[in-house]
């Protein structure tokens, strides 16, 4: 219908031009005026390229042979195995129903693909070239004709249109809320050309790349099997990816195998990647059991996230003999924004004085010294470890952004002069910092939560100030319990409730959001944040987004999100995000935790990797490879099960 409408409009324009020509010179002035309305003022400049970059130029030329950080001669073969916590009951990662399996998006690809050494670059993968105007208000993807789904069926523009409409209509609510308003239309121009046109008024900077990042699913397979994107399922959808499901034991083990007929094996973006014949995931009930499984050789690669384990647990025989490598590898990625997230939907947590008081009682310095062996740095910013983090008092450029919001009464004037909120600093010598306790007590008194004869705080209604942490990882017990004790010393009836991963998902996800405090991540959108931030911070996602578990909603932040999305230069983006970061931190929606700028990994000595690694990915299942000679030696000596 859209193609036909476009053709009718073009026919009408031709008829109008013919009428102007035959109308006669007597109408000269009127004719010219009408022509100016009907005919375009100038031809639209259309760029044809092998990719697109948010700012600046692409690093790789159109004829690049492989990514610069891979080993193009990496051998294919072998297996890599890792662990996952808890259980799973679905291979559909695009539904809120069920617990998705680890790596359950491995089957799917998108039209464009990024790299691990370049910020903001997206290269043609399922397409040969892309076309877009200078203002990026639309994009045409000229699709490859050799792409096939994993069952050998062809991939065409109809699959792109179908996937777009599927996620538009049945994608998770947080995605639809932000995604759908940005697309005006999607048209199949021919079997291998598809056009995305973006909604007028939408910032177009990221839109061609966003359109190219759409997950592609086979239309024919989905319809033939009567699938439903909104339902959990142990059968994956059909994709074009390099791996397929070999076997699974629900809740226990998953094995993905490399597709020997994978269409993209010789694509420049695939050379040196997808090197393992099999990727195996073993499930364990908790981290302690998983560590013991690694020691006994049940799985072979471990990304260690416990500082205690890293400092004390890697003295077992396989490490001492050299069978297991313990390595610290560089990580240039932005900090994760890991934090205790406070549920702002709870009435008791809506007073910023209460939130500040609760934050004062987490003693990071003591925790880092006593529990983390000094391995971590404190998180202060949603964009820590980047130039987008707000620092000190606002710069003149930040003030120019924030002043209109102050003038409209959306922000207090103090935001223009105060230093960016930093995480409190406590004594490392004892878990309970008395200075922090006194300050927190004053804040709660001021907020109307006073101490009774029993030492607990109540409001004017007689309601006790309670705070429940829910957690599914036993490794966090030793971190949260001292925090709980500090809160109880403050007069808060705090407690930690350990639950299983399925319960955690049910209680922390929409629609329930049944928690006071959880450990989570403050979404930052990476090094070039844009429209995806709205899924985490926009008011419209407060009650429907797994990325906005805190229930954050603020009219000034809504306006700043629009400015972030509309930024046209790197400098403009940096200063706008700094202003956004400053406002978010002032709301004290979180109790920030910690990060480290290194990967701490252990693996059986049969894997090799490029040196140096790219800055933005560890890539163990992507561009590492298996050394068969070393693997055979480990098996011969019984180091592996």
- What is the average per-residue pLDDT within 174-189? 90
pLDDT above 60 (res 333): yes
Report if residue 317 sits inside a domain. Answer: yes
**For residue 10, what pLDDT band results from cuts at 50, 70 and 90?**
very low
What is the per-residue DSSP string for 62-119? TT--S-TTS-TTPPP--EEEEEEES---BS-TTSSSS-BPTTTTTT---SEE--SS-T
Percent of the chain, pLDDT > 90? 85
Q: Are residues 419 and 567 in the same domain?
A: yes
- What is the average per-residue pLDDT within 276-291? 96
Whether cis (ω within 30° of 0) applies to the bond prior to 511 is: yes
Task: Write phi, then psi, for 510 (nearest 5 degrees).
Answer: -65, 150
Task: Note the pLDDT of residue 234.
Answer: 96
Please tell me the least confidently modeled range out of 36-45, 71-80, 179-188, 351-360: 36-45
Question: Is 582:415 a contact under the CB 8 Å cutoff?
Answer: yes
Task: Note the pLDDT of residue 34.
Answer: 32
Q: Which of 224, 251, 268 is the last residue of a domain?
A: 224
Q: Are residues 380 and 461 in the same domain?
A: yes
* CATH number assigned to the domain comprising residue 467: 3.10.105.10
pLDDT above 80 (res 20): no
**Domain around 201:** 46-73+108-224
Spell out the SS3 assignment of 213-233. Answer: CCCCCCHHHHHHCCCCCCCCC
- How far is Cα 417 from Cα 396, in angstroms, rounded to an integer? 11
Task: Note the pLDDT of residue 26.
Answer: 33
- How far is Cα 461 from Cα 478, in angstroms, rounded to an integer? 34
pLDDT, averaged across the chain: 92
**For residue 369, what pLDDT band results from cuts at 50, 70 and 90?**
very high
- What is the average per-residue pLDDT within 110-116? 97
pLDDT above 60 (res 12): no
Strand pairing category for 598-604 and 301-303: antiparallel
Report if residue 99 sits inside a domain. Answer: no
Question: Of 43 and 264, which is predicted with more confidence?
Answer: 264
- What is the average per-residue pLDDT within 226-237? 97
Q: Are residues 189 and 324 in the same domain?
A: no
Q: Are residues 184 and 322 in the same domain?
A: no
Q: Are residues 113 and 200 in the same domain?
A: yes
- What is the average per-residue pLDDT within 271-293? 96
Name every residue whose Cβ is closer than 8 Å to that of residue 65 and which is 6 or more positions away in sequence. 72, 268, 271
Q: Are residues 189 and 62 in the same domain?
A: yes
Question: Is 563:572 a contact under the CB 8 Å cutoff?
Answer: no
**For residue 571, what pLDDT band results from cuts at 50, 70 and 90?**
very high
Please tell me the least confidently modeled range out of 34-48, 338-352, 439-453: 34-48
Task: Note the pLDDT of residue 24.
Answer: 35
SS3 label, residue 369: helix
- What is the average per-residue pLDDT within 479-505? 96
- What is the average per-residue pLDDT within 447-460? 97
- How far is Cα 597 from Cα 614, in angstroms, rounded to an integer? 14
SS3 label, residue 319: helix
Report if residue 262 sits inside a domain. Answer: yes
- How far is Cα 370 from Cα 30, in angstroms, rounded to an integer? 84
pLDDT above 90 (res 562): yes
Report if residue 467 sits inside a domain. Answer: yes
Question: Is 98:92 a contact under the CB 8 Å cutoff?
Answer: yes
Report if residue 232 sits inside a domain. Answer: no
- How far is Cα 182 from Cα 25, in angstroms, rounded to an integer? 45
CA-to-CA separations, 477 to 485, 590, 594, in angstroms, rounded: 12, 19, 16
CA angle 313, 318, 322 (to 5 degrees): 110
Strand pairing category for 278-284 and 79-85: parallel
Burial of 196 (0-12, 13-18, 19+ CB in 10 A): buried
Measured from the Cβ of residue 469, the count of other Cβ atoms closer than 10 Å reads 22
- What is the average per-residue pLDDT within 522-549? 92
Sign of CA dihedral 311, 313, 317, 323: negative
Q: Are residues 435 and 568 in the same domain?
A: yes
- What is the average per-residue pLDDT within 141-149? 98
Report if residue 90 sits inside a domain. Answer: no
- How far is Cα 60 from Cα 614, in angstroms, rounded to an integer? 15
Q: Which residue is it, tokens 């940096």? A: 574
Task: Note the pLDDT of residue 570.
Answer: 94
Whether cis (ω within 30° of 0) applies to the bond prior to 387 is: no
Question: Is 508:470 a contact under the CB 8 Å cutoff?
Answer: yes
- How far is Cα 172 from Cα 96, in angstroms, rounded to an integer? 7
* CATH number assigned to the domain comprising residue 622: 3.40.190.10
Question: Is 522:498 a contact under the CB 8 Å cutoff?
Answer: no
**For residue 42, what pLDDT band results from cuts at 50, 70 and 90?**
low
Q: How many structural domains does the chain have?
A: 4
Task: Note the pLDDT of residue 590.
Answer: 97
Question: Is 116:617 a contact under the CB 8 Å cutoff?
Answer: yes
Model confidence pLDDT, tens digit, residues 590-611: 999 999 889 999 999 999 999 9
Q: Are residues 367 and 472 in the same domain?
A: yes
| Count of residues in the chain | 641
Q: Are residues 315 and 390 in the same domain?
A: no
Q: Are residues 393 and 517 in the same domain?
A: yes
- How far is Cα 348 from Cα 499, in angstroms, rounded to an integer? 23
Q: Are residues 381 and 443 in the same domain?
A: yes
- What is the average per-residue pLDDT within 432-441? 98
pLDDT above 50 (res 435): yes
Percent of the chain, pLDDT > 70? 93
Task: Note the pLDDT of residue 179.
Answer: 82
Report if residue 497 sits inside a domain. Answer: yes
Q: Are residues 360 and 490 in the same domain?
A: yes
Global pTM reads 0.84
**For residue 531, what pLDDT band results from cuts at 50, 70 and 90?**
confident
CA angle 425, 430, 431 (to 5 degrees): 75
Report if residue 235 sits inside a domain. Answer: no
Task: Note the pLDDT of residue 641.
Answer: 79
- How many alpha carbons fall within 13 Å on the CB side of residue 6? 10
């Amino acid at each position: 219908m859209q193609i036909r409408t476009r053709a009718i409009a073009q026919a009408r324009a031709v008829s109008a031009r013919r009428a102007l020509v035959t109308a006669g010179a007597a109408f000269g002035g009127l004719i010219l005026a009408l022509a100016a309305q009907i005919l375009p003022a100038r031809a639209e400049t259309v760029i044809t390229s092998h990719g697109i970059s948010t700012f600046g130029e692409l690093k790789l030329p159109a004829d690049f042979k492989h990514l610069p950080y891979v080993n193009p001669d990496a051998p294919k073969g072998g297996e890599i195995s890792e662990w996952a916590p808890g259980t799973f009951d679905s291979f559909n990662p695009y539904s809120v129903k069920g617990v998705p399996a680890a790596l359950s998006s491995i089957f799917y690809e998108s039209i464009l693909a990024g790299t691990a050494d370049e910020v903001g670059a997206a290269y043609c993968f399922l397409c040969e070239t892309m076309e877009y105007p200078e203002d990026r208000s639309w994009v045409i993807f000229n699709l490859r004709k050799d792409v096939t789904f994993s069952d050998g069926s062809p991939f065409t523009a109809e699959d792109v249109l179908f996937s777009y409409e599927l996620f538009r209509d049945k994608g998770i609510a947080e995605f639809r809320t932000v995604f759908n308003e940005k697309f005006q239309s999607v048209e199949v121009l021919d079997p291998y050309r598809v056009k995305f046109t973006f909604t007028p008024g939408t910032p177009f900077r990221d839109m061609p790349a966003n359109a190219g990042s759409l997950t592609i699913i086979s239309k024919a397979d989905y319809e033939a099997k009567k699938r439903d994107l909104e339902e959990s399922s142990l059968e994956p959808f059909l994709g074009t990816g390099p791996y397929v499901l070999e076997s699974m034991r629900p809740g226990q083990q998953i094995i993905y195998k490399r597709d020997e007929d994978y269409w993209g094996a010789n694509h420049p973006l695939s050379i040196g990647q997808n090197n393992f014949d099999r990727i195996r995931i073993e499930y364990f009930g908790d981290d302690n059991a998983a560590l013991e499984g690694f020691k006994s050789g049940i799985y072979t690669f471990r990304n260690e996230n416990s500082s205690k384990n890293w400092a004390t647990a890697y003295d077992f025989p396989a490490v001492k003999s050299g069978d297991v490598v313990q390595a610290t590898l560089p990580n240039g990625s932005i900090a994760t924004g890991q934090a205790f997230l406070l549920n702002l939907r709870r009435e008791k947590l809506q007073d910023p004085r209460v939130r500040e008081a609760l934050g004062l009682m987490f003693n990071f310095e003591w925790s880092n010294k006593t529990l983390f062996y000094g391995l971590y740095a404190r998180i202060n910013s949603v964009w820590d470890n980047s130039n987008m983090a707000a620092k000190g008092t606002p710069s003149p450029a930040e003030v120019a952004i924030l002043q209109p919001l102050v003038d409209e009464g959306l922000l207090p004037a103090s935001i223009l002069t105060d230093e960016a909120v930093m995480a409190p600093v406590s004594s490392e010598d004892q878990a309970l910092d008395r200075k922090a306790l006194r300050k927190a007590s004053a804040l709660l008194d001021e907020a109307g939560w006073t101490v009774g004869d029993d030492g607990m705080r109540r409001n004017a209604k007689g309601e006790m100030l309670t705070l429940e942490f829910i957690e599914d990882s036993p490794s966090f017990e030793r971190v949260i319990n001292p925090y709980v004790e500090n809160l109880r010393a403050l007069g808060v009836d705090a407690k930690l409730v350990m639950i299983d991963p399925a319960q955690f998902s049910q209680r922390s996800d929409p629609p329930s959001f049944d928690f006071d405090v959880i450990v989570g991540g403050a979404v930052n959108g990476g090094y070039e944040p844009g429209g995806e931030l709205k899924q985490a911070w926009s008011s419209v996602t407060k009650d429907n987004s797994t990325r906005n578990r805190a229930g954050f909603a603020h009219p000034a932040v809504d306006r700043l999100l629009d400015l972030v999305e509309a930024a046209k230069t790197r400098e403009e983006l940096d200063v706008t995000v700094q202003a956004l970061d400053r406002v978010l931190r002032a709301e004290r929606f979180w109790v920030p935790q910690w990060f480290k700028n290194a990967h701490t990994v252990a693996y059986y000595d049969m894997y090799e990797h490029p040196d140096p690694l790219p800055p933005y990915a560890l890539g163990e299942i992507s561009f590492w490879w298996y050394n068969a000679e070393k693997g055979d030696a480990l098996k011969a000596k019984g180091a592996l099960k």
